[in-house]
Amino acid sequence: MMKNCEYQQIDPRALSVLPQSAQNNTEKTVQRSRRKWEVFPGKNRFFCDGRIILASQSGVLPLTLGLIIVTCGLFFAFDCPFLVKHLTVFIPVIGGALFVFVVFSLLRTSFTDPGILPRATPDEAADIEKQIDTSGSSTYRPPPRTKEILINQQVVKLKYCFTCKMFRPPRTSHCSLCDNCVERFDHHCPWVGNCVGKRNYRFFYSFIISLSFLTSFIFGCVITHITLRSQEGKSLVQSIQESPARYPFLVICFFSIWSILGLSGFHTYLIASNLTTNEDIKGSWSSKRCAEESGNPYSYNSIITNCCATLCGPMPPSLIDRRGFLSLDEAIPAVSASEIELPPFTVKSDAHMCTQSTKDVLERMVHSYDVHGLCPPATPKTTPLDLEVSGPAAASSEPSLSAGCLPQDARQPVVPPCPPFSRSNKRRDSLHSINPAFRLASPSPSLSRTTFILGDAPDNGFIPLP
Amino acid sequence: MAETHSLQDMRQQAAVAAKVFLQRDYSNGTVCQFQSKFPSELETRIDKQQFEETMQTLNNLYAEAEKLGSQSYIEGCLACLTAYTVFLCMETHYEKVLKKIAKYIQEQNDKIYAPRGLLLTDPIERGLRVIEVTIFEDRSLTR
């Protein structure tokens, strides 16, 4: 196995031979033309024939929707009649408009492709590997692949993504939960059930802003209601006791207001400085550069321009072309995979293996069956030592934060840490404690932290399977 | 799709000699620009100036798509006000420019590149990462 971990040059001509030989089989087996979403390699789910895209774990999205609908339902049922009578009819109108806007934004965030980058074609991957310098094949731990480029006279490191087989564009990150590289990756939000990236960041932002307004509005109306009732002659406690259904309602509103307002404030800051949550947590452009805005090469150095660029900029198209039809040569890897009948994440774990040569991956898909016994199921590249820890975490469909956080933290000491990795981790922790916004905005950043840990681990090198 | 049909015919008839990948140029940030350095493999096939002109036009078209101007701001604000439902009926500015780019590439392929045994692949098919230039074996010329 170790010998197979040596870096091997890929001969593109060898690659072009393989699909053609399988092509004859494809023509017989594929009876209807398939759409590209059906063979999409990431861990996403598609509905309505590819029109709607969701992450594989959307467990908390129904909860988010449920909370919003129930809270608004209680508001309309119990508070509106009273307030309409005593104040104005516009209260339910405003509430209704905000509710509609919140739900639309939420669904739009969840169902939109966040900016997924399609994986490199084998030819492209071969070309990239040819360009990478290798010192020799004696070590079985190839050096981490990074490329330094100049962006606006600032040095930025581009990392090589082993799963997608390409150098990630700047500001792109690989989400391990969805197993995709996402452009301008912000974080993976479990509440929304999707990654937040270039294409749906504006929807996400309008969701949290409108939700802040909605929760503040509802909270204000409820307080007004209670106050008005108590002014009618009864005491405050008595008027609360009159409608006890309001208790959980008020508690939900109170806590959600703080976290949502905090999150909105945090994202407003990010937008104004043209940063992503990912960059902010990692501290990519901060304090060590000693100048807030010149550190970030993507910032336009003007708050208004930054805001306009992020929120009102042109809407980039989806790069993955979910509903396009597969051409014959693209259908081949999918057909050969289904013919072998390996479980889906085993096929992906082939890509995760330490043998980066694409030729080996294709050979394994066609020839070997015993690979899946050795490969960790659908987790980032780690040793089999971590299987027990990481396996259940990855395989579980419950995106609960505690379950998500603990195994990853436990895994860190097991993976022999590369110095940069552990250093950046410490820096991340210190940033996490310093920034008060993180305490308030609990759901997304903490899970995103684990996502970054997962995403970063393979980039600093990896450990081959023994 | 008659044009792609003829290009596919060419693909099937001629063997692929090599593929050249023109990567993205990030020196100006994350805007979509491609490196216009003339690859050495194409030296024997096409005029350098012609190639650079094609690349420059493509880069200009992508810059137009991603331009932050009043049109994109109006489109963004309108979309926000209609809770983003306007995109269900209207094509975005970016998509319109992408169609223009697709047409331009097709036209360039038909007029200039196909006669020389080359084929430009629209970068949108490669996730806007690379411009793939396929070099076909030149059976007509003897060397």
pLDDT in the model for residue A409:
39
What band does A449 get if pLDDT is binned at 50, 70 and 90?
very low
More confident residue, B58 or A58: B58
Category of A173 on φ-ψ map: left (φ > 0), alpha (ψ -120 to 50) or beta: beta
Look up residue A430 and give its two tokens: 């210190």
Range among A80-89, A93-102, B110-119 rated most confident: A93-102
pLDDT in the model for residue A268:
93
- The residues on B that touch A, with CB distances below 8 Å, are 16, 18-19, 21, 24, 26-30, 65-68, 72-73, 75-77, 79-80, 83-85, 87, 92-95, 98, 124-130, 132
For the segment A112-124, what is each residue's pLDDT rounded down to a tens digit?
Answer: 889 898 888 888 8
Query: Is the pLDDT score of B56 beyond 50?
Result: yes
Section A248-264 average pLDDT: 83
Which of A101, A124, A150 shows the shortest C-beta gap to B126?
A124
What band does B138 get if pLDDT is binned at 50, 70 and 90?
low
pLDDT in the model for residue A329:
56
The residue of chain B nearest to residue A51, with distances taken between CA atoms, is B88
Q: Kindly provide the ipTM of the predicted complex, given to two decimals.
A: 0.83
Do A255 and A231 meet the contact criterion of CB atoms below 8 Å apart? no
Section A267-271 average pLDDT: 92
What band does A265 get if pLDDT is binned at 50, 70 and 90?
very high
Tell me the nearest-neighbour CA distance from A6 into chain B, angstroms.
25
The crossing angle, in degrees rounded to 10, of helices A201-231 and A303-311 is 100
Query: Is the pLDDT score of A259 beyond 60?
Result: yes
Whether the pTM exceeds 0.95: the reply is no
Closest CA to A273 of A297, A293, A294: A293
Section A147-169 average pLDDT: 85
Query: Is the pLDDT score of A12 beyond 60?
Result: no
Look up residue A404 and give its two tokens: 């998500």
CA angle A155, A159, A165 (to 5 degrees): 145
pLDDT in the model for residue A42:
77
pLDDT in the model for residue A7:
47
More confident residue, A431 or A332: A332
First-to-last alpha carbon distance for chain B, in angstroms, is 35
As a whole number, the mean pLDDT across chain B is: 82
More confident residue, A461 or B60: B60
What band does B58 get if pLDDT is binned at 50, 70 and 90?
very high
pLDDT in the model for residue A81:
85
Which of A104, A150, A169 shows the shortest C-beta gap to B27?
A150
More confident residue, A411 or B42: B42
Query: Is the pLDDT score of B26 beyond 50?
Result: yes
What residues of A act catalytically?
Answer: 189
- Contact yes or no for A315 and B92 at CB 8 A: yes
Query: Is the pLDDT score of A466 beyond 80?
Result: no
Look up residue A396 and give its two tokens: 């579980």
What band does A106 get if pLDDT is binned at 50, 70 and 90?
very high
Which of A98, A109, A203, A319 is most worth mutating to test chain B (most B CB atoms within 10 A of its CB)? Answer: A319
pLDDT in the model for residue A21:
43
pLDDT in the model for residue B70:
83
Share of chain A above pLDDT 70, in %: 54
For the segment B85-127, what is each residue's pLDDT rounded down to a tens digit?
Answer: 787 788 888 888 999 999 999 999 999 888 888 889 998 888 8
As a whole number, the mean pLDDT across chain A is: 67
Query: Is the pLDDT score of A413 beyond 70?
Result: no
State how beta strands B16-23 and A154-161 pair. unpaired
Strand partners, A182: A116, A173
Taking the C-alpha atoms of residue A188 and residue A193, their distance in angstroms, rounded to an integer, is 8
Taking the C-alpha atoms of residue B29 and residue A169, their distance in angstroms, rounded to an integer, is 10
Supply the Cα-derived Rg of chain B in whole angstroms.
Answer: 18
The length of chain A is: 466
Section A125-146 average pLDDT: 62
Task: With beta carbons under 8 A apart, name residues in chain A contacting B95.
Answer: 317
pLDDT in the model for residue A32:
67
pLDDT in the model for residue A196:
92
Section A321-339 average pLDDT: 56
- Contact yes or no for B72 and A12 at CB 8 A: no
